[in-house]
Structure 1
């Protein structure tokens, strides 16, 4: 009976150790099967100073749109959508139309504005305008190492950014992952915890272009120190298991 109790104790210790580790690293631990969460914060990217955007203007009359295109060579078909860098005041300078203030506009709002301007100025009667963000990047610093992640569209959530970055390692403190961004000329920071479903309704869950995600290590130990620590524990557990096995075998043979 005592031998069985000892084995049970060792198994319990191993199980508890695994549970503690899971609680530290598993995502969305309070999510249930088929659970639904109403999102309180919706986000659509807006154009800001220093953003790069492309503006494609087409029409049934290709000749009318020629001033708004970039010809990349002698081949007339080698045409690309022009790229514009938003200046510090939030403006872009368009051919024919001139300077336009775009700071704070969504890409759809800019599309509608340009369409209306082209029609009202009798420049193009049937314009089709397509605006895209060329540079939408999220930056990572801290325990995961420094990297810039390019977002394939203008919508990116906190969890999507972590996935695109290749996830964060087990040594990262998930209880306080900082999202840092510039708002009205000020740097603001919020801490998000992806282990809880409450992260979905954090106002910083929907990321903006040029946000920083900053991570910290769970302890002051280096990765090598922590590996050594857990290897020591595993060695001790194996030694105890070997000792118990030896005692059981010896007892059995003695009988």
Structure 2
């Protein structure tokens, strides 16, 4: 009988030992220390497989029209998906094919720099006198995997978003997620970069590299309890319930 009571006492202790501590769970625990800190922004560069929307304008719309891809929609603004189908796909060499201008190298440029380059060609090659050019990436998306409530590929319309925005779009981290080591994988100029981010501190928030950009991948690792259970135990409270049921069963059998 003593062994049974010892088992009943030890089970909850083992469970509590495996549970995640407050310091491992709470986001941005030192946020007040970084209040009023400077926020730096950098524009992402255009990469292969980006789909661009390029609008060329002029005081006389008729002279600018040949440089624009026309849409077949009738009296309605094109949806994003329709614009993607008719947009400029950046090839592996970082170039696109524009009407009249033909091949234009945009890979490695920010959208703003691509606008300047196209505008200069239009002027220098005597096509337009004072054109306006707008370049926008249409297929911005990121992939988030692991311990989030809604993993998958998620689209966004902004040039970049914060990591907290990305986690919000994925319906937040699960209880089993390791918050001290969020992995951010990014491909830039043919190189794969890997960043490690500790969400329990706010020190990373001012780093422009940690804003989510086109084609980023976020990986959230599960804690040891989740890994050791093979995914069967999704929450320590679930384990506590199982342990309580086992303890009750042992008592019933002993009696």
TM-score normalized with structure 2 length? 0.74
CA contact (8 A) 1:58 1:127 kept: yes
Query: CA shift at 1:97, angstroms?
Result: 0.8
Task: Pick from 95, 100, 106 the counterpart of residue 91 of structure 1.
Answer: 95
Task: Pick from 211, 216, 222 the counterpart of residue 217 of structure 1.
Answer: 222
CA RMSD of aligned residues (A): 3.0
Aligned CA distance change for structure 1 residues 31 and 118 (closer, same or farther; 3 Å): same
| Distance in structure 2 (CA, Å) of the matches to 1:162 and 1:23 | 19
Query: CA shift at 1:78, angstroms?
Result: 6.6
Aligned CA distance change for structure 1 residues 224 and 74 (closer, same or farther; 3 Å): closer
The residue aligned with 2:140 is 136
The residue aligned with 1:160 is 165
Query: Could you give the per-residue CA deviations for residues 108-130 of structure 1, whole angstroms, max 9, x where no partner exists?
Result: 11111111211222212231111
The residue aligned with 2:236 is 226
The residue aligned with 1:71 is 70
Query: Could you give the per-residue CA deviations for residues 136-184 of structure 1, whole angstroms, max 9, x where no partner exists?
Result: 1111112226411112211222222212222212211111111112244
Aligned CA distance change for structure 1 residues 142 and 74 (closer, same or farther; 3 Å): closer
CA contact (8 A) 1:71 1:78 kept: no
Q: Where does structure 1 lack aligned partners over 5 or more consecutive residues?
A: 1-12, 236-255
CA contact (8 A) 1:133 1:153 kept: no
Q: Which has the larger radius of gyration?
A: 1
| Distance in structure 2 (CA, Å) of the matches to 1:25 and 1:124 | 58
CA contact (8 A) 2:47 2:189 kept: no
Within 5 Å, give how 1:6-45 maps onto structure 2: 21-32=21-32, 35-39=35-39, 42-45=41-44
Query: Could you give the per-residue CA deviations for residues 203-222 of structure 1, whole angstroms, max 9, x where no partner exists?
Result: 64123311110011112233
| Distance in structure 1 (CA, Å) of the matches to 2:110 and 2:188 | 16
CA contact (8 A) 2:58 2:64 kept: yes
Aligned CA distance change for structure 1 residues 50 and 56 (closer, same or farther; 3 Å): same
CA contact (8 A) 1:72 1:79 kept: no
Query: CA shift at 1:232, angstroms?
Result: 5.9
**SS of structure 2 residue aligned to 1:153:** coil
Aligned CA distance change for structure 1 residues 30 and 134 (closer, same or farther; 3 Å): same
Q: Where does structure 2 lack aligned partners over 5 or more consecutive residues?
A: 1-12, 246-255
Within 5 Å, give how 1:132-211 maps onto structure 2: 132-144=136-148, 146-202=151-207, 204-211=209-216
| Distance in structure 2 (CA, Å) of the matches to 1:79 and 1:60 | 22
The residue aligned with 2:125 is 121
How many pairs does the alignment contain?
A: 219
CA contact (8 A) 2:45 2:108 kept: yes
CA contact (8 A) 1:178 1:191 kept: yes
Query: CA shift at 1:224, angstroms?
Result: 4.1
Bigger drift between 162-171 and 190-199 goes to 162-171
The residue aligned with 1:60 is 59
